[in-house]
Amino acid sequence: MAELDHWHPVLFADELGKKPAPVRVCDRELVLFRASDGKATLGALADVCPHRGMRLSEGRVEGGRLVCPYHGWSFAPDGEGKCPATPAARPSADAFDVVERYGLVWIKRRGAQAAFPTLDVSGYHLIGKTRQRAEAPLEVTLDNFIEVEHTPEVHALLGYPRERMAEVTCEVTSTETSVRVYNEGPQKALPRPLYTLLQIEPGDSFVDDWTTWFSPVSTVYDQYWLDPATGERRPNALRIAIFFVPVTAGQTDIFALSYALAAPWDRYGLNAFAYLLTRAFVVMELRRDVTLLGKLADKSPELRGKTLSRFDKPLGLARKRIETIYRSRG
């Protein structure tokens, strides 16, 4: 399957301890494990013993090898197997490439050439890593994340007010490998403390500028505010990277890495507190998206027959690139 040729985050690094961990990605069941002392080499194997089909994730790690709990065959991170009862046997388990980066564990098909996704967060501070599961296919999940028309209805805080939605601009540009959307319009009214937290003023313009890539399917959002009188940027900004990982055909995991500019809060010595609040705010908004996606009556990725709006142009552009780049079709 072409999808697994791309790097996918499948687990937070701190979720993988001494015990092997089962994960499902693109309908494949894998087992992840840390060889030896909990710090060394990572292994990612198909979660099925080549002997008689036991789940290797039910096994244990011993001296750098994953031991099957049924007949004790053991496997190295590269899949090389040993059979204690028949030492001459050379079984092998299906192994995947695996790395730990940005606090996540990533896998791809062994030897596939896909580049690791780059993430430029220099000057930013990590405020949170989150994972949510949407009960919807990849395309339909991504749709929600690449248009802002839902923000008045679905979001509590981040986005645009319903009564001024018509003023929101939506500029879409694309290349063969990416789709970029720039939205600008009035920020929704917020509770007073949030203006302080975000270092913005009532009446500010909110910019949501994002680019989606397709190896793997991911979107990086730059969110910031403008002084409407001068057009100047406020000092604060969020950068949120979201990786969309199909679990099954109808479920998508959303891994979000949220960053904020450090500088604005430094002078108050309140960064830790501000990050905590901002993280809670991002989690709450993502949860609203995920809850809504679960309630769609039509979860088919088909766009034909749907009545699309001026904000939906990125959907078709993303569909094409998911097909050609992510799924390697056509």
Which spans of this chain sit near ligand FES (rule: CB under 6 A)? 49, 51-52, 54, 68, 70-71, 73
Please report how close the Cβ of residue 84 comes to ligand FES at its closest, in angstroms. Answer: 9
Please report how close the Cβ of residue 82 comes to ligand FES at its closest, in angstroms. Answer: 10
For ligand FES, which is the closer residue by CB, 38 or 84? 84
For Fe ion, which is the closer residue by CB, 47 or 289? 289
Residue 66 to residue 44: CA distance in whole angstroms: 10
95 binds, among Fe ion, ligand FES, none (CB under 5 to 8 A by kind): none
For ligand FES, which is the closer residue by CB, 68 or 158? 68
129 binds, among Fe ion, ligand FES, none (CB under 5 to 8 A by kind): none
For Fe ion, which is the closer residue by CB, 204 or 289? 289
Please report how close the Cβ of residue 85 comes to ligand FES at its closest, in angstroms. Answer: 9
51 binds, among Fe ion, ligand FES, none (CB under 5 to 8 A by kind): ligand FES
CA 186, 155, 132, 217 dihedral sign is negative
Please report how close the Cβ of residue 81 comes to ligand FES at its closest, in angstroms. Answer: 9
For ligand FES, which is the closer residue by CB, 19 or 233? 19
Q: Which residue is nearest to Fe ion (CB)?
A: 289
- Residues 6+ positions from 178 with CB-CB distance below 8 Å: 211, 212, 213, 214, 321
Q: Which residues bind Fe ion (CB under 5 A)?
A: 289
Please report how close the Cβ of residue 67 comes to ligand FES at its closest, in angstroms. Answer: 9
For Fe ion, which is the closer residue by CB, 3 or 208? 208
104 binds, among ligand FES, Fe ion, none (CB under 5 to 8 A by kind): none
Please report how close the Cβ of residue 1 comes to ligand FES at its closest, in angstroms. Answer: 24
90 binds, among Fe ion, ligand FES, none (CB under 5 to 8 A by kind): none
Would you say 282 and 148 are in contact if contact means Cβ atoms under 8 Å apart?
no
For ligand FES, which is the closer residue by CB, 70 or 124? 70
For Fe ion, which is the closer residue by CB, 135 or 289? 289
Q: Spell out the SS3 assignment of the chain.
A: CHHHHCCEEEEEHHHCCCCCEEEEECCEEEEEEECCCCCCCEEEEECCCCCCCCCHHHCEEECCEEECCCCCCEECCCCEEECCCCCCCCCECCEEEEEEECCEEEEEECCCCCCCCCCCCCCEEEEEEEEEEECCCHHHHHHHHCCCCCHHHHCCCCCCCHHHHHHCEEEEEECCCEEEEEEEEECCCCCHHHHHHHCCCCCCEEEEEEEEEECCEEEEEEEEEECCCCCCEEEEEEEEEEEEEEEECCEEEEEEEEEEECHHHHCCCCHHHHHHHHHHHHHHHHHHHHHHHHCCCCCCCCCCCCCCCCCCHHHHHHHHHHHHHHCCCC
286 binds, among Fe ion, ligand FES, none (CB under 5 to 8 A by kind): none
Please report how close the Cβ of residue 83 comes to ligand FES at its closest, in angstroms. Answer: 7
160 binds, among Fe ion, ligand FES, none (CB under 5 to 8 A by kind): none
Residue 199 to residue 261: CA distance in whole angstroms: 11
Q: Interhelix angle for 313-321 vs 138-145, to 10°?
A: 140
Please report how close the Cβ of residue 154 comes to Fe ion at its closest, in angstroms. Answer: 6
289 binds, among Fe ion, ligand FES, none (CB under 5 to 8 A by kind): Fe ion
